[in-house]
Structure 1
Amino acid sequence: MRKTLLALAVAFFVSPLTAMPADHVAQVLAANQAATAGNHWEAKDRLELHYAYSGQGLTGRTAFTQDLQRGRFVDRWEVGPSHTTTGFDGKKAWEVESSGTATPQEGGDVRQLAVNEAYRLQNLWWRSDRGGATITDAGCKSDGGKPYDVLIVAPKEGKPFEVWFDATTHLMARTIEANSTLTIRTDYADFAPTDGVQLAHSVVIDDGGGQANLQRMTLSSATFSTGGDDAAFALPKTDLHDFELAPGTTQAKVPFLLANNHVYVQASFNGGKPLTVIVDTGGHNILVPDSASALGIKVQGAQTASGGGDSVQQSGLAQVQSIRVGGATLKNQTISVLQFSNAAEGLDEQGMIGYEFLARFITRFDYGSHELTFIDKKHFDPSDAGTPVPFRLYHQFPEVLGSYDGVPGRFGIDTGARTVLSLTRPFSERHHLREHEKNGTEALTGWGVGGSEYAYVFHGKDLQLGDVTVKSFLAELSLDKGGAGGVEAFPNNVGGGLLKRFVVTLDYDHQLMYLKPIAGKVDDLDTFDRSGMWLNVADEGFGIVSVSSGSPAAQAGLAAGDVIETVDGKAVSSIHLYDLRRRLRDEPPGTKVALTVERNGHPREVTLVLRDLI
């Protein structure tokens, strides 16, 4: 999944303060209230803030409407070609993403972050009961020679974040908060009085992408008013007309290639030649830079992107007139421009079709017939679609409430993942899953936006998704410390390796997924690599990226950095990487594979003997 657009939390507002205990936390908060002139706020109801924006190679403006008494807000971002809005009505978080769809947000950490923002904008920490939050003293810290008093605040129904108060002025200078896969530092400076209180006129957001990716906002206006309008904070209604099926049709069927458990189709951007793209329910509409350039599409900015793997990448934004997949077309869209690692898949991936396209239709993945179908919503008959499974949205990612081995959890539905079931590191550690799984192996198991992904792979227990139970499948416990597998916010991941048991139909409007079992045998099901190595495409062959300790590859003397030039006498240039990976999974233990391997310019012959690793 791509990076999350950030909702700014501006915190300068008050609720009545009564006497607090004479500890350091109370002293810090009382000093902050006095410095901010909090006692001027009791009669104020609403605040409108407008900023000029620059950062990540883009310019624009942002606006924040805040209910100071009830913690409701609407945050609007008009940055480059992208226009997004996030909101909180006091109970529910919602989002309008750049293509215009408005969705309630119950998945991941979106509501927790909205609760945090509401807490800060009301300054509930000034109350004697601290607004129900747990606040702990993190001590005094120094940065750039300046001293700060640091507190850790955990609002009720929110998530912990750090807040730094300038030890000299006592004004809030910084927050540090985990947001999805990123850690966001927000600095507040250039305070000046407005209606008797201090407001920061400079806000700088650092999402970990480096100095070039800092987002700067300069306050242009601040307006107070009284009264509140419930409708102003409610989820907007949208009526989109930017998509179509071929005239006279109610659905469009498109053949797909299933490789590495990924779905690939041909898509045309701006009427250009068809390009090979991956179809990903965990992603967005994307082009790679070379394809955007060849089509004459202008790319703006460089935003921080993250997903599977520990690293972050940079993605640009672009405007396209049309995206066509078979007889289905989406028009006038802002897309991301992001470099994919084609080395990891062995296909020339030129882009991605994601949520914005899939949600315009009822979208069906028939893994049995290898067909993708886009269905007119008005002509969808669910009677034969299979068992309905409710889902909610984590931004645009479908998230199902279910259980693994009887343990309740959240499970993302991700056609862009090769794995069967990947359980996140926080989930597996919290429930001590590794302690009960002795017959597995550690390995590099995938490649995401953030690079390599490592996991402990084993035969899993029962997975429950709504009324659907899946048994006897391959599972893995993520070993990643960052990225989607390493953070609490992300759900466990249900990938193509499990979904290919079904005809999968997605109805985003009603937040329902239908699962209908495939008739007959499913190929290449729940097998794991029997070689013990991960391969990527290299300039002169297949490059070995990782070798598991004690594996057949290690016993054959193979090591990371080696390049495979031939397999059973065939040059690798005549072999698809995904076909070789499948062979190394599916051929029986004891199979001998003859390799020619180059190391430091010296070729040698190696015999690899496949063996079960789990």
Structure 2
Amino acid sequence: MKTVVVLFGALLFCGGASAKPVESAASLLARARATSGGDAWDAIVGLSANGTEKASGLSADWRMDVDLRDGRSRQSADFGVVRYAEGFDGRDHWRQDASGGLHNLDSAFARTATVTDAWLARRGWLRRDAAGAKIGAMAMRNEGERRYAVLTATPQGGQAVELWFDPASARLERSVRTMPISIVSVSYADYRKVDGIELPFSIITRDDAGNGDDIVELRTYQTRPNASDSDFARPSPPDDAQAPAAGTTVPLEFTRYLVVEAKLNGKGPFAFILDTGGHDIITPDVAQQLGLKAVGSGTSGGAGEGTMTQADVRVGRFEIGAAVMTDQHFFVMPLQYGTIERGARTPLAGIIGLEVFERFGTRIDYRAKTLTLRPRAGYRHVGGGVPLRMTFSDDQPLVEVGFEGKRGDFALDTGNGGSMLVQHLWAEKQGFAQRLKSGVELVSYGAGGASRNWASRVDRFDIAGQNLRHLAARYAEDKHGSFSSRTEAGNIGSDVLAHFTLDFDYAGGQVWFEPVPGWTPPPFDRSGVRAYKDRADAFTVALVGEHTPAAIAGVKANDEIIAVDGVAATQLSGDDWFHKITQAPGTSLALTLRRKGVESQAALTLRELLP
């Protein structure tokens, strides 16, 4: 996967009496309009394009439709094994991603981004007065041997976008936008004349998050004097799922993660993490067991700053209890050993997420440890609780809640098997960062690898009419991955969610929180050692806190814990380790360590580290 190179070069200005004055932004845009066709644009309303999209080692038939009056648009790509569509119908920005289901992109950030999407789609920079956008001063920038004329445009109510022009021709060659967890650059090239206007036949999108280039090569454009509402209508939800009218209820295992069993192509059952923040994923081992041949070669990230490979398959039949889904897309990803291992038990098969939640009304009862799926058609919430509106910037639901008296959008993440996490950019804006970083240093692991964070207690967390006090919260300063968001306040995990029974209605954009008195989150780590499994026979020590029981016992980073209280690590899971280090203060743990091939014994006595 490639990284965006030098998105922001040095500003160049040659002083002196003989220096050539920098062109004004208005002059540059006037030249851009003239170069691209001038008044010929005024006679065109509809614009359609067909071509080929290449991404993640796959190739697709690609189509785009745009209304040049208001920026309504629709794009679709059919890669065979997976299909995508996205559009703006003038009111809603909708997406149909790998899940096949649909939801709006309607968070506060997404709404501003949609305004800019529409401005770009209708070629706002070529319109008189830039279609009402605020235009910043032009600056000259160098990148390698190329020189660009760059200005910033901010449509009314929209997100700022940098526009990079070739100074000689005044053609737009690049747009650059700051998205929640990445900087996205779109390059435009191979301009050709079509019905009096000039259009790019090569469009390449790349970001700095480790995702590969997305390349669209255009075959044809069509210009039209009109545009139809049907060009931008959202597709119908897929008719590929069914459940009994009364629903189907299945057991959930709830330790830290929610785990549910499912059958794939009649085989299994397989155990999966139930994750509102994820897509349907199986491991390569499971794909092999099912005789499925994965195609594609993409990358994906998550919590942590790294990425992992991903490919694509389709599963003919996917069953959870009496709920059945047919012809389902799954990603194939080599999830970290520490994510899927269960000690002596069969490893987890992967993750199930958005695909299920989009197809059913979904009820999670943490206390009864059950999952209930009801048909989406005609779904109505039955019972009590407080509804919160769910919004989306991408594919994870967000709700607005209160953290220490400040409101912010927090992700609902049933795949977060622990305390809530607070994003550092939001915390810095609210004045929380310094206090949160003074907490207990930790390291956690997700799909993107390790994430360094700090834990402390929260005086007040307000959600769905409930004021939860003295909760543990982690503060992260990741530079990449899902814990580096510029727009979200944080991520809510099971320590908070298990205070409630949750009823999700993705189609209706709501989730009901039904309070269940008496829930007490698990104790915080009382050992001071953070360890993970990357193979069966040992836990590897990632971090030892200063002056903690582990440090006093002589445990050091990179030690291998090969037994706990006489039980070999091969028989212990990450959950087992967690239960060991959260036992009552005063409990003694006997660790067998291996350091540089030499075994030794250590005894540590647990005590409170986060009162």
- Distance in 1 (CA, whole Å) between partners of 2:399 and 2:94 is 18
Aligned identity (percent) is 27
Matched, 1:596 2:595: no
What is the aligned partner in structure 1 of residue 325 from structure 2?
Answer: 330
Give the TM-score normalised by the residue count of structure 2.
0.89
- With over 3 angstroms needed to count, the CA separation of the structure-2 counterparts of 1:31 and 1:304, relative to structure 1, is farther
Q: Give the TM-score taking structure 1 as reference length.
A: 0.89
Partner of 1:533: 529
Corresponding residue SS for 1:274: strand
1:14-53 matches, within 5 Å, as 24-53=24-53
Residues of 2 paired with 1:185 and 1:100: CA distance? 26
Deviation for aligned residue 1:460: 1.0
Q: How many Å separate the matches in 2 of 1:491 and 1:434?
A: 12
> What whole-Å deviation, never above 9, does each CA across 1:122-152 have from its counterpart, x for those lacking one?
3333557544444445743333422222233
User: CA offsets, 1:403-422, max 9 Å, x none?
Assistant: 22221211221100123321
Size of the aligned set, in residue pairs, is: 585
1:194 equivalent in structure 2: 194
| Pair 1:342 & 2:341 matched | no
**Relative to 1, partners in 2 of residues 1:80 and 1:183: Cα closer, same or farther, differing over 3 Å?**
farther
The amino acid across from 1:563 in the alignment is E
User: Residue in 2 aligned with 1:501?
Assistant: 499
User: Which position in structure 1 is the counterpart of 2:3?
Assistant: none
1:227-246 equivalences under 5 Å are: 227-236=226-235, 238=236, 240-245=238-243
User: Structure 1 residue 569 and structure 2 residue 566: aligned?
Assistant: yes
- Distance change (3 Å), C-alpha of 1:129 and 1:582: farther
Backbone CA RMSD of aligned residues: 2.6
SS of structure 2 residue aligned to 1:41: helix
Matched, 1:580 2:574: no
Q: Write the letter of the residue equivalent to 2:453.
A: A
Q: Secondary structure at the match of 1:389?
A: strand
Task: Report the AA paired with residue 417 of structure 2.
Answer: R
User: Aligned to 2:178, what secondary structure does the other structure show?
Assistant: strand
Partner Cα separation in structure 1 for residue 102 and residue 266 of structure 2: 28
What is the identity, as a one-letter code, of the residue corresponding to 2:502? V
Quick one: distance in 2 between partners of 1:191 and 1:606? 69
Deviation at 1:515, TM superposition (A): 1.8
8 A contact 2:459–2:471 mirrored in 1: yes
Query: Which whole-Å CA distance do the structure 2 matches of 1:557 and 1:29 have between them?
Result: 67
Cα gap change, 1:549 to 1:109, in 2 (>3 Å): farther
1:31 aligns to what SS in structure 2? helix
**Deviating more after overlay: 277-286 vs 415-424:** 415-424
Residue 291 (structure 2) aligned to one of 288, 296, 313: 296
- Write the distance in 2 (CA, Å) between the matches of 1:210 and 1:120: 25
Runs of 4+ in 1 over 6 A off after TM superposition: 378-381
- 1: distance between equivalents of 2:383 and 2:402? 26
Q: Is the 8 A contact 2:66 2:122 kept in 1?
A: no
Q: What amino acid does structure 1 have at the position aligned with 2:568? A: A
In the TM superposition, 1:186-335 aligns within 5 A as 186-208=186-208, 213-236=212-235, 238=236, 240-245=238-243, 250-259=246-255, 261-335=256-330
Residue 503 of structure 1 aligns to which amino acid in structure 2? Answer: T
In structure 2, relative to structure 1, the CA distance for the partners of 1:199 and 1:506 (3 Å cut) is same
Instruction: Determine the C-alpha separation between the residues in 2 that align with 1:429 and 1:439.
Output: 14
Aligned partner of residue 263 in structure 2, secondary structure:
strand
Q: 1:516 aligns with which of 496, 505, 514?
A: 514
Tell me which residue corresponds to 2:431.
Answer: 432
Aligned to 1:458: 456
The alpha-carbon distance between structure 1 residues 555 and 131, as it changes in their structure 2 partners (threshold 3 A), is: farther
Match of 1:74 in 2: 74
For 2:268 and 2:136, the matched residues in 1 are separated by 58
| Separation of aligned partners in 2, 1:454 and 1:135 | 39
**Preserved contact between residue 267 and residue 323 of structure 1 (Cα < 8 Å):** yes
SS of match in other structure, 2:119 = helix
8 Å Cα contact 2:102/2:237 also seen in 1? no
Residue 401 of structure 2: aligned partner:
402
Q: Distance in 2 between matches of 1:172 and 1:557?
A: 61
Alpha-carbon distance in structure 2 between the residues aligned to 1:156 and 1:425: 28
Q: What stretches of structure 2 of length at least 5 have no aligned partner?
A: 1-20
The alpha-carbon deviation at position 25 of structure 1 amounts to 2.8
1:62 equivalent in alignment to 2:58: no
Q: Is the 8 A contact 2:437 2:454 kept in 1?
A: no
Alignment-mate amino acid for residue 330 of structure 1:
M
C-alpha displacement at 1:263, in angstroms? 0.5
SS of the residue 2:44 aligns to:
coil
**Counterpart position of 1:384:** 383
Question: What is the alpha-carbon distance in structure 1 between the residues aligned to residue 183 and residue 214 of structure 2?
Answer: 14
What is the letter of the counterpart of residue 528 of structure 2?
G
Q: Deviations over 1:216-259 (max 9, x none)?
A: 221111111112323433444x254312236xx62222112113
1:610 partnered with 2:569: no
Unaligned runs of 5+ in 1: 1-20
Question: Equivalent residue for 1:9?
Answer: none
Does the 8 Å CA contact 1:420/1:526 hold for their aligned counterparts?
no
Cα 1:375–1:55, aligned 2, differ >3 Å: closer, same or farther? closer
Q: Structure 1 residues 585 and 154 mapped into 2: Cα distance closer, same or farther (>3 Å)?
A: farther
User: 1: distance between equivalents of 2:456 and 2:190?
Assistant: 55
Aligned equivalents of 2:519 and 2:464: distance in 1? 22
Deviations 1:515-548 (A, max 9, x none): 22235x435x153212222211143311112233
Amino acid at match of 2:198: Q
